[in-house]
Amino acid sequence: MQLPTREVYFNITGHLWLYLFVAIGAAAFLYGLYRHWRGWSLGRPEVRWDRPWERLKALLADTLLHLTVLKEAYPGVMHLFIFWGFLVLAFGTAVVMLQADLGLQVLYGSFYLWLSLALDLFGLLAVIGILIALFRRYVQRPSRLDNTPDDAVVLVGLLVVLVSGFFLEGLRMAVAGDPWALWSPVGLVLARLAGAALDGAGLAPAAASVAPGLKAWHAGLWWGHMLLAVGLVAYMPYSKLFHVLASPANQFMRNLGRKGALSLVDIENTETFGASRLDEFSWKDLFDTDACTRCGRCQDQCPANTVGKALSPKDVIQKMRLALAAQGPVLARVKAEVRKKLLEEAAAEGGGTAGGAGAGGGGSGASG
C-alpha cells in the first residue's frame, strides 16, 4: 500500500537557482536588521531582560493568544487569523525544507495528510484575515488608521502569496491528480473548477493537448510565488512587516513595573533632563518606534485626543521613528569616529608611557 505523500518539486526544473535568490534575500534581510540595531544602539543602556519567566508568560499571552489585541474583537480576530495562518504556513514550509534540503523523509503517511489539511485551513484563515484588513483599511477607513503605500504593498503582497499558493496546489492536482486530494480542500476546489472550465470547452486536464500548457502555467506560477515570498522576507526589515519580529520582542521586554511610574533621576550626576536628542533616549525607547504598527489604539485611548486636542501618541512615536531613520546613521557614524579617535589617542598615550618606562628601566640598569 502506497503511503500518502507528494513530490516536493513537482514539474519544477532548475530549482537550485532558488538558493541564490534566497541568499540574496537573506543578505538584504540581515542588512536591514543591522540598520535597526545600529539605531537602537545609540540609546542609553537599560535592562529589559530580568525576570525572564514573567516576561515569557507575557510574550505567550499577548503573542500566541492575542489577549490584548482581542480586547477589540473586530481587528483582534482579523489579526488572529493572519497571525495563526502564517505561523502554521511557516511551520509547513520548514517541514518541506527538512525533506527537500536535508533529505529527512517526513512528508509521509498520516502526518502528511493532517499537515496538508492544516495548511489549507489555516491558509484560508489568513486569506480571510487579509481581506478583512483590506476592507477595514480602504473601505471603512476608521479615523485612527492612516494609509501609506507600504500598507498596500504588504497586504496585497501577502494576499498574492497565499492565493498563488492555492492555485499552485490546484494546478498540480488538475495535471497529476492526487488520491489524497480531500485532505487539501481549497486546492481540490480550485482543481475541480479548472477541470469544469476545461470540460466546458471540451477538453480534459490530462489530455496531451492540454497538460503541457497547464504544466507551463504551474511552473511559471511556482517561480512567481517563490520569488515574491523571498522578496517579502527581504522587505520585512524595511517595512511594516518588521513588527512580525519587533512586536513579540517588545512584549518580552515590556516594562514590568507599575504603569505610569516615573524613573528616579540622579540630579547631581545628570547633565541634561528629559530628552531632546536621540542619544538621550534609552535603547528601548528607540526600539519602541520600530515596534509600533500605527494601529492607533493608543490614539483612541489618549484623553487629550478624545476631546479634540491635536495630540496623538501615535504621531509622536512615528516622528521619533522618522528622526531615527534620518539622523540615526549620521549620529552612529559620528559616534564611531569619536570612539575610534579616543582609542587611537589612548593607544598613543599607552605606547608613550610604555616607551618612557622602558627608557627609565634601561637607565637604571646602566647606572647599576
pLDDT per position in the chain (368 positions), as tens? 688 999 999 999 999 999 999 999 999 999 999 999 999 998 889 888 899 999 999 899 999 999 989 999 999 999 999 999 999 999 999 999 999 999 899 999 999 999 999 999 999 999 999 999 999 999 999 988 999 999 999 999 999 999 999 999 999 998 888 899 999 999 999 999 988 887 776 666 656 567 788 899 999 999 999 999 999 999 999 999 999 999 999 999 998 887 766 666 666 666 666 676 788 888 999 999 999 988 988 888 888 887 777 778 888 888 888 888 888 887 777 777 777 777 777 778 776 555 554 544 444 443 43
Determine the pLDDT at residue 306.
78
Range list of H helices, the chain: 17-40, 52-59, 73-102, 109-135, 149-176, 185-200, 211-235, 243-252, 283-291, 297-301, 303-306, 313-367
Show the cell assigned to 36.
Answer: 535597526
Show the cell assigned to 127.
Answer: 486569506
Determine the pLDDT at residue 337.
77
Burial of 259 (0-12, 13-18, 19+ CB in 10 A): exposed
Determine the pLDDT at residue 367.
40
Beta bridge partners of 44: 282
DSSP letters along 140-158, please?
I--TT----HHHHHHHHHH
The Cα 168–Cα 176 span in angstroms is 12
Burial of 269 (0-12, 13-18, 19+ CB in 10 A): exposed
**Other CB atoms within 10 A of residue 120 CB:** 21
**Other CB atoms within 10 A of residue 234 CB:** 20
Burial of 346 (0-12, 13-18, 19+ CB in 10 A): exposed
**Other CB atoms within 10 A of residue 247 CB:** 18
Residue type, 68: T
**Other CB atoms within 10 A of residue 207 CB:** 12
Show the cell assigned to 98.
Answer: 527538512
Determine the pLDDT at residue 165.
97
Determine the pLDDT at residue 198.
76
User: Going by C-beta distance under 8 Å and a sequence separation of 6 or more, which residues neighbour residue 171?
Assistant: 190, 191, 194, 214, 217, 218, 221
The Cα 238–Cα 231 span in angstroms is 11
